[in-house]
Structure 1
Amino acid sequence: MKKIFTKITAFILIAILICACNAVKRVPNGKNLLLKNDIIVNGKSTNDEVASNQMYQKPNSNLLGYRLRLNLYNLANLNPDSTYQAKFKNNPEKYERMSKILSAKQVDRLGQSFWYKGIHEFLKKTGEAPVIIDTSKTKKSVLRLKSYYFNNGYFKVATNYNIDSIGFKRAKINYNITTGPAYTLDSIRTNISSPALDSLYKKSPEPSLLKSGNQFKTSDFEEEKNRITTYFRNHGAYFFQPTYVTYDVDTIGKKDKADITLIIKDNTIQEKDSSRSEPFKLYKISDVNIYTDYSTANAKKPIKDSTTYNNFNLYSYNKLKYKPRAITDAIFITKGGTYADFRTTLSSRYLNNLKIFNYPSIQYEVDKRDSTAQSLIAKVYLTPRKKYSFGATLDLTHSNIQDFGIGASISETIRNVFNRAETLEISARVNVGSSKDMANPNNNFFNVSEYGLDMKLNFPRILMPFGTEKIIPKSMIPSTSVAAGFSKQRNIGLDKESFTGGLSYLWSPKRYNTAKLDLLNAQYVRNLNPDNYYKVYTSSYDELNGIAQNYNTTAENVDAQGNLIIPTGTTNFTNEVLSNQTALQPGDPQYEDVESIEERRVRLTENDFILATSYTFTKTTKKDLADNNFYQFKTKIETAGTLLSAISSVANLPKNSNGSYEIFNLEYSEYIKTEFDYIKHWDFGKEKVLAVRSFFGIAIPFGNSNYIPFSRSYYSGGSNDNRAWQPYALGPGSTDAVNDFNEANMKIALSGEFRFKIFGDVKGAFFADAGNIWNVLDNVTDEKARFDNVNDLAEIALGSGFGLRYDLSFFVVRLDLGFKTYNPAHEPGERWFKEYNFGHSVLNFGINYPF
């Protein structure tokens, strides 16, 4: 295998060298391929990306210095049709022979096939034509560079260029910039014609972005213009626009300094063929009219129903179907209030968030009833969505449990359930899949299945027996969700039924912040086939069976080959060992192994009941999907069982033989859990992004529990975690993942990924993932699996590798190849690069980026 890989690698390298030698294949004689733009500022090269973006011509893209797309383009035949026709023009007998075998029509169509034409079209489209130096474009680039530096305060900038030959038909362009001294701002004055705006400007609590002593930058002037416009329009200046802000820059008699005068003229009003000016006015809202069922067709009909509520006028072309408060609570424009842009935006967001209307239209017109012409009528046009909407999906899935799955779901959404903008969502789902990790005695491809039913009722407000407006005002767009669900898994481990229910509150304290309070989150998990445990967790069975070979004394426990029978033999042998009926005694290492195996079996086969409360806060600076320069912070704290224990203690309820409280004859879980997740992206331009993620989570059992339920524990490995290990295959600690599904109650993870464009929609990445899981303050006794002190941080695993991504716009298909760089499962001194090869690598398939 290694020899084959070596040959393939050598072949690829030779092919690359051949292509590289042919990079100037399509560069005409007397012309040069552009290899580099070198911007030299005051004698020194600069990597200023903004300056580089002023170029009309940029070199062909490269991948690690290799111009892949250029060489792909050079491999293409630019005129495949002519080549195909010439093939027969020089040899007409060949055309006749092929026509007899196929037909003249088929021979002609053969020239349009993929092998004769399509492959060359693909190479041209995927590749990149050589960038040949064009001096006319170079001169334009020089002018743009001069303008760029001038706009940054270098008023005496001088520019020129020269072209340096650096090989056969290859050259670079040197852009020489001599900036001269940078001008700074000296005195700053204002000249605002409208008295209302002049008074408003002087009251502004925000300082100007133009400050004496700062370097002159056009961008600062633009930002100040936008700041002023936003401030004025949020304080009544409805007709004000950024174009009304101009600047006078005076450098006469100044040495490297400029006096600035900010000028705002009166409002210009166009009237037919003439125009006039008048001072700007500050407007108030005289009426808020809401059209609850607006459409193009309805606009021509008369109003049939209307009402007034809290100074809002509601109109309907048919019977009004909404309780007024359901809509007015979402509108922040108030009668008698000052016009403000932010109130329009906030109202639009809230109304859209109700999910019962299409995106609203909010318009204003001057109220002709006001003789001073300083009043506006706000008109809110709402177009209802359909009350009932049906949806269906069919998905291909990949998860930590399933290698491949096919899922289907149907859903029904009912809007305005109680006439207060509530939405009810009911959905059903089914999934069949394949998993090599599951017990599969019949060797079926589709060996796992799941189906479920979910219901969610959303209220666009906080449902509490007391008012919350002072704590969570409606400007935070609060909502309440009541959810319930049922799912059943078959042939997935022990087979399970899950019942869930919850009451949660969601709101946005700030524009890009969200907070969620899960007041009640209940989950009941019932294992349907616990006797299947040792068929699923085969490593536990192998270890127990190995011990039984030496210590089993009951013939009924084993089959004809001497292996423990599942489940009777495994259960009996374990009981015999733990009741001291075998030669194994407490203190013996293999006795402790049996004890640990049984401890894990009980934990993973017991039914779980969890009643939890959690609070999650998320803050991000990401403005949109294209933003690659942001950070995101998420923290969560969760507590479970505390309320039930408090009630049990106050009610003086009895405990069971294990010293634990029960509900419905089931020991409920009690723990506290907290998580911190931080993601940071740096955009280096040209589609190069560095992404980093750090995560810490810990769940501590107490009171009614001495371990964390499997569904609330942590695992490591997989396509969104440490990609050098399979899911559940890393840790805990330095245990070498002795179990089939390894989990623990503490996790540390740190990942870094450098992303770059290869060609077209194909992207690449180099990554490094570090982390592990440990047991802490629970009932696990294995020292290798526990985190006892900071020295255990030496057990943090490191994986590294590279990946490919294909961007389909609506999602990204991802392949990552991870290599075990540092494996803490080995002895100290044997952990670095011992498995750094393709034989021990892990290929991960994923959808979208991991972070």
Structure 2
Amino acid sequence: MKVRSKDILSAIALGIIGFTLNSCSSTRYLKEGEELYVGPDIVIDSDSLSKKHKEEMKLALNDLLRPVPNTRVLGVYPNLALYNMAGNPEKTSKLRRWMRNKLGEAPVLFSQVDLEYNSAILTNRLENHGFFNVTIESDTLKTADKKKGVRYHVTPGEQYKINEVTFLNDSTPLQQLIYDAKNWTRLKKGKAYNLDDIKEERVRFDNYVKNKGYYYFSPNNLLVQVDSTVGNHKVDLFVKVKDDAPKPALKAYTIDKVYVFADYNISDGDYMKGIDSADQYNGMTIVDPKGKFKSSIYDRTIYLEKGETYNRNDHNLSLNRLVNLGVFKFVKNSFEISDSINNKLDAYYFLTPDNPKAIRVELLGKTNSASYNGAELNVNWSNKNFFKGAELFSVSAYGGADFQSSARNNGYNVYKAGLEASLTWPRLIAPIDFNPLTGHIPKTKTTVGYEFLQRSKLYSLNSFKASWGYLWKQSTTIDHQFNVLETNYVSPNNVTALYQEYAKGNPSLERVLDKQLIFGPTYTFTFTNTMKQHKTHTFYYRGSLDFSGNITGLVMGADVNKEKEKTILGVPFSQYIKTEHDFRHYLKLGRTSQFVSRIHAGVGYAYGNSTAMPYTKQFYVGGSNSVRAFRARTLGPGSFDPRSIDSNFIPDQSGDVLIEMNLEYRKKLISIIHGALFVDAGNVWNLSEVSDRPGGKFSGDFYKEFAMGAGLGLRFDITFLVVRFDLAFPLRVPYYEEGSRWVIDDIRLGDRQWRKDNLMLNFAIGYPF
């Protein structure tokens, strides 16, 4: 039976209509007397609070109320509709049971609401924030037939503020230590009373005294007494160590012995049996009977040393560094009092080794917006303890093919195969001993690799690369990567007469056939705090610098004005400076939605021995992670019209300058399904005019040459990966005549030919940015 696209679209339309109708009738399956709970409405009655403070209070209180009503989108209940559509799970298929239990939501009934419990929760939260005279009244809110909500009238009264903060000062060393640190307290006079601030302050003082040797101290040993009888809506705070604090908590300890059990198994009975034959290394007793690890790996991981005062920062730093070595499956640490009179502790590190060797095989299917479909096989073998010093040695082999599915370009397929090996040491192998005290150990990494690429009927490329560099993490949010030397040599082979004929007189295509020798340092700086989910605003920034042949060019006197390029082993070397910057802002709009904006820009400048940037180092736009309304590498440079050339092969537009901007609204729809609306803009330009790419030079009118597109997408977040589909169409085409570049008026979604010419479906793994 032949299935027409019209029939498919009709079925989809009917499904959407049915789903919407089912969503609207969300109460039809409720039993007699049952009512759907539509959620709370909180009203803040206060003359002393600002409008902004009221809104913030309302949002905070709303999150405390239970139960949480069914998910609602644009007035309908999609999750509840799926639950209802699935029917009786005992009499339906596995698919329907999955839809009911995984995607659907059971109806949240008004009978599940406990008004007294919710009122008590709201009162408690407000009192913890200094509103001691709060009153709360609740009313039933009937919104529709079989639907009910609750309105809470909250009158918080005037918020109490801190009048005085007093720290006890006596002769005990611990209390004196806390008293001496009172100037750094965050409990300040005039600040609003907040129980959360007091709890955080107890934790902060706990960390402070632990760094002074008080291992057994805890936040519960510190008492903050509150006196609210001062009057005038003020409180006095009195800070002291509790009278009944245990004796060990009142003592500062020093480290006595450090034991490292490098091959520990939780099933081991007497783990101390190997102590007599253990190695002694830099004050540590290392139990490693099979010699699995070099003792030197603990020099830069364990920072608690014999005779030193116990320090919580060094304690945590040691654990984090042992974990980040990557060779231990489990890391456990404990302390025991070895001398109660002289207040000494023994430190024990129990390390369970991970399997050092692993092999991973990946088979990938892929498609892209340049009409290519293909597959790739990757095989990776790694050893995480190659020289017994936590060195990571990795070898990867890969091969793949991309087939051009477009009828016009059929047969111009791409085949590639490669081999890459890398070795990473958990230290910096450099003249300067650089070892920042963070939980991540600085690393040295060297890489060598080879790739063969064959473009059918056109040419093949042999590419060799090697690098030596350093990676270190300045903090949890800042990363650095500095490659002292990064080399890439590219040599074309088997260039066909067909390609030579087509490329003749076209500098952009002739450049692909040039041998390339690129070498020099590169540096990349990355900042991100996107892991802080509680923040409303989070950021990501990645900036890089790439230099090639700079010093060599100076030494050899390279100059493009000279008749002949300088060469190394007969190959002209590239000389350029390139910088690239990627900035992203994530604005959290609620628990299930966010707004993401991005600016991506870069520039590369060739000089000295080079008249143009190497082809592999230029920028391009379009595709699934860029301006999604256009195919990859089909835009630019500038206002150059790609239709003016006979693109018998592969669209491949690139440039020296990149400016790209993206805006995207993301929202969770149902279960693992997320939706997105987006607008993209960008283009590439050349710094100088290229004869076969007229209109591509960067000028003061560059802003008139932006391409723009918009669209919507679906993302399936399966925890360990995100499968993404983005459908986009152009809003502005830079190679049209000025005055005709905006194409918004030409949008005809109902026109089949327009959809064929303009709609671009992007399939990708992961978010675009």
Taking structure 1 as the reference length, the TM-score comes to 0.80
* Residue segments in structure 1 that go unaligned for 5+ positions in a row: 82-111, 270-276, 535-566, 575-594
**Partner of 2:496: helix, strand, or coil?**
helix
Q: How does 1:73-112 map to 2 (within 5 A)?
A: 73-78=83-88, 81=91
Which residue of the partner structure matches residue 752 of structure 2? none
* Residue segments in structure 2 that go unaligned for 5+ positions in a row: 750-754
Which residue of the partner structure matches residue 765 of structure 2? 847
The separation in 2 between residues aligned to 1:145 and 1:331, in whole angstroms, is 47
**Partner of 2:259: helix, strand, or coil?**
strand
Q: Deviations along 1:146-204, whole A, 9 cap, x unmatched?
A: 22222221111111111232332233321111111111111111247882222222343
**Partner of 1:530: helix, strand, or coil?**
coil
Which residue of the partner structure matches residue 302 of structure 2? 331
Deviation at 1:391, TM superposition (A): 3.4
Deviation at 1:434, TM superposition (A): 2.9
Which residue of the partner structure matches residue 526 of structure 2? 618
The separation in 2 between residues aligned to 1:305 and 1:400, in whole angstroms, is 64
Deviation at 1:518, TM superposition (A): 0.7
Q: How does 1:96-135 map to 2 (within 5 A)?
A: 114=93, 118-119=95-96, 122-123=99-100, 125-134=102-111
Which residue of the partner structure matches residue 502 of structure 1? 467
**Is 1:156 matched with 2:133?**
yes
The separation in 2 between residues aligned to 1:638 and 1:437, in whole angstroms, is 36
**Partner of 2:459: helix, strand, or coil?**
coil
Which residue of the partner structure matches residue 419 of structure 2? 453
**Is 1:763 matched with 2:660?**
no
Deviation at 1:633, TM superposition (A): 1.6
Deviation at 1:715, TM superposition (A): 0.8
Q: Deviations along 1:759-809, whole A, 9 cap, x unmatched?
A: 1111111112222111124756755211111x3112222222111111111
Deviation at 1:724, TM superposition (A): 1.3
The separation in 2 between residues aligned to 1:784 and 1:414, in whole angstroms, is 52
Deviation at 1:400, TM superposition (A): 7.0
Which region of structure 1 is more displaced relative to structure 2, 795-804 or 357-366? 357-366
Which residue of the partner structure matches residue 25 of structure 1? 28
* Percent of paired sites with the same residue: 26
Contact 2:89 2:100 in 1 (8 A): no
Which residue of the partner structure matches residue 616 of structure 2? 711
Q: Of 713, 718, 723, which aligns to 2:628? A: 723
**Is 1:366 matched with 2:337?**
yes
Which residue of the partner structure matches residue 116 of structure 2? 139
The separation in 2 between residues aligned to 1:730 and 1:654, in whole angstroms, is 32
Deviation at 1:21, TM superposition (A): 4.6
Which residue of the partner structure matches residue 347 of structure 1? 318
Contact 2:67 2:108 in 1 (8 A): yes
**Is 1:285 matched with 2:227?**
no
Which residue of the partner structure matches residue 730 of structure 2? 820
Q: Deviations along 1:425-471, whole A, 9 cap, x unmatched?
A: 2222222343337997659xxx433221111111111112x2333x8
The separation in 2 between residues aligned to 1:792 and 1:656, in whole angstroms, is 29
Cα distance change, pair 362–783 in 1 and its aligned pair in 2 (3 A): same
Q: Which amino acid letter does the alignment assign opposite residue 724 of structure 1? A: A
Contact 1:732 1:775 in 2 (8 A): yes
Which residue of the partner structure matches residue 424 of structure 1? 393
Cα distance change, pair 506–801 in 1 and its aligned pair in 2 (3 A): same
Which residue of the partner structure matches residue 545 of structure 2? 637
Contact 1:819 1:835 in 2 (8 A): no
The separation in 1 between residues aligned to 2:683 and 2:211, in whole angstroms, is 51
Contact 1:679 1:694 in 2 (8 A): yes
Which region of structure 1 is more displaced relative to structure 2, 425-434 or 477-486? 425-434
Which residue of the partner structure matches residue 558 of structure 1? none
Q: Deviations along 1:693-732, whole A, 9 cap, x unmatched?
A: 2211111111111211121111111111111111112222
Q: Deviations along 1:282-329, whole A, 9 cap, x unmatched?
A: 1111222223333346637534744333333333224x4544333222
Which residue of the partner structure matches residue 35 of structure 1? 38
Contact 1:56 1:138 in 2 (8 A): no
Which region of structure 1 is more displaced relative to structure 2, 138-147 or 510-519? 138-147
Cα distance change, pair 333–204 in 1 and its aligned pair in 2 (3 A): same
Q: Of 658, 666, 684, which aligns to 1:747? A: 658
Q: Deviations along 1:627-662, whole A, 9 cap, x unmatched?
A: 88521222111111113213323xxx9999843211
Cα distance change, pair 25–322 in 1 and its aligned pair in 2 (3 A): closer
Which residue of the partner structure matches residue 675 of structure 1? 580
Contact 2:576 2:610 in 1 (8 A): yes
Contact 1:533 1:601 in 2 (8 A): no
Q: Which amino acid letter does the alignment assign opposite residue 640 of structure 1? A: S
Cα distance change, pair 694–657 in 1 and its aligned pair in 2 (3 A): closer
Deviation at 1:6, TM superposition (A): 9.2
Contact 1:719 1:846 in 2 (8 A): yes
Contact 1:676 1:696 in 2 (8 A): yes
The separation in 2 between residues aligned to 1:7 and 1:729, in whole angstroms, is 34
**Is 1:774 matched with 2:685?**
yes
Which residue of the partner structure matches residue 281 of structure 2? 309
Contact 2:508 2:692 in 1 (8 A): no
Which region of structure 1 is more displaced relative to structure 2, 258-267 or 393-402? 393-402
Which residue of the partner structure matches residue 223 of structure 2? 246
Which residue of the partner structure matches residue 15 of structure 1? 18
**Partner of 1:490: helix, strand, or coil?**
strand
**Partner of 2:703: helix, strand, or coil?**
helix
Cα distance change, pair 642–472 in 1 and its aligned pair in 2 (3 A): farther
Q: Deviations along 1:19-53, whole A, 9 cap, x unmatched?
A: 35522202344443333421100178846322111
Contact 2:258 2:283 in 1 (8 A): yes
Q: Which amino acid letter does the alignment assign opposite residue 179 of structure 1? A: P
Which residue of the partner structure matches residue 692 of structure 1? 597
Cα distance change, pair 438–648 in 1 and its aligned pair in 2 (3 A): farther
Which residue of the partner structure matches residue 66 of structure 2? 56
RMSD of aligned residue pairs (Cα, Å) = 3.2
Q: How does 1:535-684 map to 2 (within 5 A)?
A: 567=500, 570=502, 574=504, 595=505, 598-623=506-531, 630-649=538-557, 658-684=563-589
Deviation at 1:124, TM superposition (A): 5.8
In proportion to residue count, which structure has more strand?
Answer: 2
Q: Deviations along 1:88-146, whole A, 9 cap, x unmatched?
A: xxxxxxxxxxxxxxxxxxxxxxxx6x3xx753662464222333222742332222222
**Partner of 1:412: helix, strand, or coil?**
strand
Q: Of 441, 445, 448, which aligns to 1:477? A: 441
**Is 1:228 matched with 2:205?**
yes
The separation in 2 between residues aligned to 1:203 and 1:283, in whole angstroms, is 20
The separation in 2 between residues aligned to 1:723 and 1:51, in whole angstroms, is 41
Q: Of 474, 489, 493, which aligns to 2:453? A: 489
**Is 1:392 matched with 2:303?**
no
Cα distance change, pair 628–609 in 1 and its aligned pair in 2 (3 A): farther
Deviation at 1:332, TM superposition (A): 1.6
The separation in 1 between residues aligned to 2:206 and 2:518, in whole angstroms, is 53
Cα distance change, pair 167–715 in 1 and its aligned pair in 2 (3 A): same
Deviation at 1:689, TM superposition (A): 1.7
The separation in 2 between residues aligned to 1:412 and 1:777, in whole angstroms, is 45
Contact 1:194 1:266 in 2 (8 A): no
Contact 1:267 1:278 in 2 (8 A): no
**Is 1:799 matched with 2:705?**
no
Count of residue pairs brought into register by the alignment? 742
Deviation at 1:617, TM superposition (A): 1.1
Taking structure 2 as the reference length, the TM-score comes to 0.88
Q: Of 396, 406, 431, which aligns to 2:375? A: 406
Deviation at 1:624, TM superposition (A): 6.5
Which residue of the partner structure matches residue 99 of structure 1? none
Deviation at 1:479, TM superposition (A): 1.1
**Partner of 2:184: helix, strand, or coil?**
coil
The separation in 1 between residues aligned to 2:621 and 2:371, in whole angstroms, is 16
